[in-house]
Amino acid sequence: MEFVEVQYRSIGKSELSASVIGLGALHFGVFCDEGQTASLVDQAFDLGINFIDTAPLYGNGQSEELLGKVLRGRRDKFIISTKVGLKQVRTAEGNFGVDVEKLSADYLRRSVEQSLSRLKTDCIDLLQLHAFDPSTSPQQVFQALEILRSAGKIRYYGCSNYSPTELEAALAAPNCDLVSAQIHYNLIERRAERELIPLCIQREISVICNRALARGLLSAKYKQNQPLPSESRAAVSARIRNLLAPDVLNLISQLESYAATLHYSPIELALAWLAGAAQVGIVLVGARSQAQLAACAAAADRTISPSERSAVDGIVKQCGMLPAVMESPPVFFER
């Protein structure tokens, strides 16, 4: 295995020191069975990746259960992040979606206890509020979380999918101790730069990036006028196919060409660009295979200089895509 010099960063004001590249466990229990999950966790360990992000929603609890099994005997080698606050629902069209749970003290306690049981651990390192609950005051939510922390059930807590307005409301609570904010952020979805990231900088909150490769678009595997890769997510997802507009694919092609001048792969350029962005602590990669994880981990010792960041911005402007990039994603919480 190629040697990778892994970077580690503190998560906000916490004592957690996490690898910049983190392993997203969204696919565990869905696309990855126990054997595949074990091989990816083994590989992550060998690569120095110590942060794993999961949620009860992922695989309807299967992601947490598989992690509980494969982490047996080495739980202390990893920082485990899981979440509370979302449930799966079926839309009027018959599709699956998600809805927000009411974050009562009783719900939070039960959800954390269930996650602890599935993960086969005594304490969750980072518990993230999966979405903002407008029906419960942040002060009440944080009071319940502090009780869980005092009981040794969680070490730290953060938030996920919050809009700038929601994050401001949370931070206004006198007992708020958020250390992280997980957001959709990548080279071509940069709306967070306008308000959300500056707020995180101001309050010393670490940004955890998901959708780091824009649902696979920034890997440059989708080409204009070429068939979709047979095993790609776009092959089975209309939502992703709708993103493959000619102007988007042209921009990605230009970025791929620029990456080649740096002797980087498109994935390395995209992840190194993220890792070098202000206040970014962790870049999550949702690998489904060892080859994918290896390709992402290679970005751990890549850097992007200020002039190279400017060159990337120049390509986005030249392609006429800057307004669209700065307005994406259209929503902070995608149901």
Span 220-229, average pLDDT = 90
Instruction: Please report which confidence band the pLDDT of residue 334 belongs to, taking 50, 70 and 90 as the band edges.
Output: confident
pLDDT at residue 301, as a whole number? 86
List the domains of the chain with CATH numbers.
Answer: 8-217+277-302 (3.20.20.100)
* pTM for the full predicted model: 0.95
pLDDT at residue 255, as a whole number? 98
Residues that are catalytic: 58
Question: What's the sign of the alpha-carbon dihedral 190, 206, 240, 230?
Answer: positive
Which letter, b or e, does each residue of 227-246 get, where b requires 16 or more Cβ atoms within 10 Å of its Cβ? ebeeebbbeeeeebeebeee
Span 167-175, average pLDDT = 97
To the nearest 10°, report the CA torsion of 53, 228, 245, 220: 60
pLDDT at residue 3, as a whole number? 60
pLDDT at residue 90, as a whole number? 80
Asked if omega into 56 is within 30° of 0 (cis), the reply is no
Q: With 80 as the cut, is the pLDDT of residue 211 above it?
A: yes
Q: 77-112 pLDDT, tens per residue?
A: 999 999 999 999 987 777 778 999 999 999 999 999
With vertex at residue 300, the alpha carbon angle to CA 298 and CA 304, rounded to the nearest 5 degrees, is: 105
pLDDT at residue 109, as a whole number? 98
Q: 265-284 pLDDT, tens per residue?
A: 999 999 999 999 999 999 99
> What whole-number percentage of the chain has pLDDT above 70?
99
pLDDT at residue 196, as a whole number? 98
Question: What's the sign of the alpha-carbon dihedral 154, 158, 161, 166?
Answer: positive
Residue of higher predicted confidence among 20 and 237: 20
Q: 9-43 pLDDT, tens per residue?
A: 999 999 999 999 999 999 999 999 999 999 999 99
* H or E segment to which residue 198 belongs: helix 196-202
Contact 229, 303 (CB under 8 A): no
pLDDT at residue 212, as a whole number? 97
